[in-house]
């Protein structure tokens, strides 16, 4: 990876005084970076081997609550420790923070030092291992969509998250003039991330006022998830440094389009795409068809991992470029799955279901598992759907609520086989808790609608 650092290079930088802080991070269930800030000297002398964190951090929610019902940890068991094991191949500078580098960690059991099965990075590594046993490598890319706002996080919080104003006044999709106005934020995002070793391709305006997209070049699956997570974190920090808030909430306003995270995927062997066959229609190999058939067949069962919150399902609305159906198409943005790069060596499938709130490790894992299942079962890919798929009454729907997606997850034999019962039960509990928390809330809509008139 460009601009990554070896451990020996980090030692030199710390001893010279160029680096004084090491962010030792892992990825939680929500796809956020959690961890500690180490003094550089302590890290290179001692903590490069391991450090520890509380095990509630992989059994919590966006509010950092401690829900009951998890088998892995609880008040009864006393909330013990996990081992944070730095992956020294992931050391990289963070140019937007002075004198600071980052390293990502794997999460291990304190006693056995075995990977924690429900850790997002471990889940993805297991699917990569399954592919490796088949002699195959997955390459993937995620698109990050988000909104920039006029005010800062602090101002918006003090205003009770009311009267939110995006940074621009009109749809800026591919709009060079409007995005020029936003370069004080987007230029440092692109450049700092590139200097941190991420293969940044471009940024662009998206199809709403204040909406942006950042694109990162395709890469091996684990690298892709690491890049996505670091980029999302950096976008928040750099926007905050510039006095602006940024949101990855999939649907922040009922009249605005939502934010997605499309996932592009293909399989490779010996540095050649095994999705491509120039002799087949559309350039799609038989293996690619089996893989895509698996993606489609099992989509209702893994949708939770693409849409993990109540708000996630508000995005699925016709006429917004967010899909509502689990079918595939050829270069048609109204479908859940789009064939890109038709008849070229770049042929791939783009899943358009996932929102900007997905955890990339989990989302990539379940799609790889579905694709592998499709290959194992030699599933037959249906014909491509054409036209306005929003209006196709015969096409199967994406689950329309977190409640339905949770039940699909709970009852999925496919996911239990691919991920393990303990992992499925763990994330089912996370989904249940999210729904329980929402169900307790009285919304502004309910009060305004019924306060006087009910």
Reading the chain (454 residues) residue by residue, the pLDDT tens digits are 446 899 999 999 999 999 999 999 999 999 999 999 999 999 999 999 999 999 999 999 999 999 999 999 988 888 999 999 999 999 999 999 999 999 999 999 999 999 999 999 999 999 999 999 999 999 999 999 999 999 999 999 999 999 999 999 999 899 999 999 999 999 999 999 999 999 999 999 998 999 999 999 999 999 999 999 999 999 999 999 999 999 999 999 999 999 999 999 999 999 999 999 999 999 999 999 999 999 999 999 999 999 999 999 999 988 888 888 889 999 888 889 999 999 999 999 999 999 999 999 999 999 999 999 999 999 999 998 888 888 887 888 899 999 999 999 999 999 999 999 999 999 999 999 999 999 999 999 999 999 999 9
Q: Strand runs (DSSP E) across 12-123, as ranges?
A: 21-27, 33-39, 51-54, 81-86, 92-93, 100-109
In 3-state terms, what secondary structure has residue 311?
helix
Give the list of residues 6+ apart from residue 158 with CB closer than 8 angstroms, or none: none
Q: What is the CATH number of domain 127-447?
A: 3.30.590.10
- State how far the Cα of 83 lies from the Cα of 70, in Å rounded to an integer: 19
264 has which bridge partners?
A: 141, 350
- State how far the Cα of 246 lies from the Cα of 104, in Å rounded to an integer: 24
- State how far the Cα of 284 lies from the Cα of 348, in Å rounded to an integer: 9
> Tokens in use for 18?
């160029």
E strand or H helix that includes residue 341: none
Fold of 7-115: Ubiquitin-like (UB roll) (3.10.20)
Residue ranges of domains in the chain: 7-115, 127-447
- What percent of the chain is modeled with pLDDT above 90? 91
Q: What is the pTM of this model?
A: 0.96
Which of 280, 139, 151, 289 is closest to 217 using CA atoms? 139
């Amino acid at each position: 990876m460009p601009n990554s650092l070896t451990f020996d290079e980090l030692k030199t930088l710390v001893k010279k005084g160029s680096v004084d802080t090491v962010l030792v991070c892992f990825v939680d269930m929500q796809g956020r970076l959690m961890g500690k800030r180490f003094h550089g000297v302590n890290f290179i002398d001692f903590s490069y081997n391991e450090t520890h964190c509380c095990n509630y951090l992989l059994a919590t929610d966006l509010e950092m609550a401690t829900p009951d019902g998890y088998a892995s940890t609880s008040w009864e068991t006393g909330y013990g420790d996990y081992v944070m094991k730095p992956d020294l191949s992931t050391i990289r500078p963070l140019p937007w923070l002075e004198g600071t580098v980052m390293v990502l960690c794997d999460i291990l059991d304190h006693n056995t030092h075995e990977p924690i099965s429900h850790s997002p990075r471990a889940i993805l590594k297991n699917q990569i291992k399954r592919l490796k046993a088949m002699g195959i490598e997955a390459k993937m890319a995620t698109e990050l969509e988000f909104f920039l706002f006029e005010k800062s996080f602090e101002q918006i919080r003090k205003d009770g998250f009311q009267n939110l104003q995006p940074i621009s006044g009109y749809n800026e999709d591919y709009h060079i003039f409007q995005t020029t106005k936003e370069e004080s934020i987007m230029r440092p995002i692109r450049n700092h991330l590139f200097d941190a070793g991420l293969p940044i391709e471009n940024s662009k305006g998206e199809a709403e006022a204040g909406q942006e997209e950042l694109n990162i070049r395709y890469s091996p699956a684990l690298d892709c998830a690491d890049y996505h997570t670091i980029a999302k974190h950096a976008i928040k920090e750099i926007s905050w440094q510039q006095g602006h808030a940024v949101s990855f909430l999939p649907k922040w306003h009922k009249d605005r389009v939502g934010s997605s995270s499309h996932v592009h995927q293909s399989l490779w062997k010996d540095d050649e795409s095994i999705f491509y066959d120039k002799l087949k229609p559309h350039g799609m190999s038989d293996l690619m068809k089996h893989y895509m058939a698996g993606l489609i067949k099992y989509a209702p069962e893994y949708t939770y991992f693409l849409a993990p919150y109540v708000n996630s399902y508000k995005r699925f609305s016709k006429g917004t470029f967010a899909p509502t159906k689990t079918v595939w198409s050829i270069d048609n943005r109204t479908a859940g799955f789009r064939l890109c790069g038709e008849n070229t060596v770049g042929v791939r499938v783009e899943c358009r279901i996932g929102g900007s709130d997905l955890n990339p490790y989990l989302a990539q894992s379940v799609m790889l598992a579905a694709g592998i299942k499709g290959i194992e079962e030699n599933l037959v890919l249906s014909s491509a759907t054409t036209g306005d798929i929003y209006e196709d009454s015969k096409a199967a729907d994406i689950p329309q609520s977190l409640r339905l997606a949770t039940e699909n997850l709970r009852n999925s034999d496919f996911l239990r086989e691919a991920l393990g019962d303990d992992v499925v039960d763990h994330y089912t509990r996370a989904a249940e808790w999210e729904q329980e928390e929402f169900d307790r809330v009285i919304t502004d809509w309910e009060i305004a609608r019924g306060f006087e008139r009910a």
